[in-house]
Amino acid sequence: MVTRRQWAASVAGTAGALALGNPLAAQEYKVAKADIKLGLCSYSFRKFPRAKAIQMAQQLGTPYINIKSFHLPLDSTPEQIEQAVKEFHDAGLIIVGGGTFRFPKWDETEIRHAFEYAKRAQMPLMVVMPERDILPKLGKFVEEYNIKIAVHNHGPEDKNFPTPQSALKIVKDMDPRCGLCIDIGHTARTGVNVVEAVAEAGPRLLDMHTKDLKDMRVKESQCDCGDGKMPFPAIFEQLVKIGYKGCANLEYEIHENDPMPGMQRSVQYMRGVMAATQYLNKA
């Protein structure tokens, strides 16, 4: 458990460092065997063009970003992709993945196009939502392109992978580069314990989408991180226990026309949790 004093000190210290330091200082916490990175999903900026999304990401002070097709369309030419990558890099942003990529049917040409797109965009990981029977077939593309895939669970409405465990049943027998992107909000809405889901995933957890809920079973109750019931301290403690080395990417789905105030509060809160987790595990 995090004491009130430790919590206040970690949050204040992190906020002070942000105020005085590099606005894009890497938010990484290397604790024990873990190497957790706090990042963003560009989906959070879906109402804004790429240039504005990049500017907003810079203001949030973490360089790690997962690119959604809103900001780099799948039908972009190689030259357009190259230009977009340059814009992200020039802004000090690090591309940690892309997606979500939906594969509703087996179409090898379409799937190969998605992997080519990801390779050109220098995405080391693709967050995917395939049909159940297609998922095992993606293994050959993972091997060919050396790009990780992480299956995104999408809650009770998802007929294929509502929970992390439903995807884990398949990926556990695939190439180690095939794993999960646990969306903690959608996971909670299925009634699954998020902390236990992280523990079960273990090394197959390759990515994570973070959000908070005031009612853990109601999608419309999403709120700023720290204002709801999501057990963030326990989640980050479990990430440390499994030696997680991926990103915890904020996917902010509310206030789409004015997301920055809520995203700033969410990022600051998670920085505090991560700092406290680092402190407790080094004590």
* pLDDT over 50 at 214, yes or no: yes
- pLDDT tens profile 40-84: 999 999 999 999 999 999 999 999 999 999 999 999 999 999 999
Residue where the block lists tokens 């915890």: 248
Cis? peptide before 277, omega within 30° of 0: no
- pLDDT tens profile 153-167: 999 999 999 999 999
- What are 28's two structure tokens? 């990484």
Host H or E run for residue 38: strand 36-41
What does the pLDDT read at residue 28? 73
What does the pLDDT read at residue 34? 81
- pLDDT tens profile 164-207: 999 999 999 999 999 999 999 999 999 999 999 999 999 999 99
* pLDDT over 90 at 19, yes or no: no
List, as one string, the DSSP characters of 163-215. SHHHHHHHHTTS-TTEEEEEEHHHHHHTT--HHHHHHHHGGGEEEEEE-EESS
What does the pLDDT read at residue 274? 87
Identify the band that residue 9 occupies on the pLDDT scale cut at 50, 70 and 90: very low
210, 212, 213, 214: CA torsion to nearest 10: 170
R_g (Cα) of the chain, nearest Å: 18
User: Domain residue spans in the chain?
Assistant: 4-282
**Separation between Cα atoms, residue 48 and residue 257, nearest integer Å:** 8
185 vs 33: which has the higher pLDDT: 185
73, 76, 80, 81: CA torsion to nearest 10: 70
What does the pLDDT read at residue 165? 98
C-beta separation of 127 from 152 below 8 A: yes
129 vs 20: which has the higher pLDDT: 129
- pLDDT tens profile 114-135: 999 999 999 999 999 999 999 9
Strands 222-223, 148-152: pairing is unpaired
**Separation between Cα atoms, residue 20 and residue 201, nearest integer Å:** 37
β partners of residue 210: 250
CATH T-level topology, domain 4-282: TIM Barrel (3.20.20)
3-state secondary structure of 100: strand
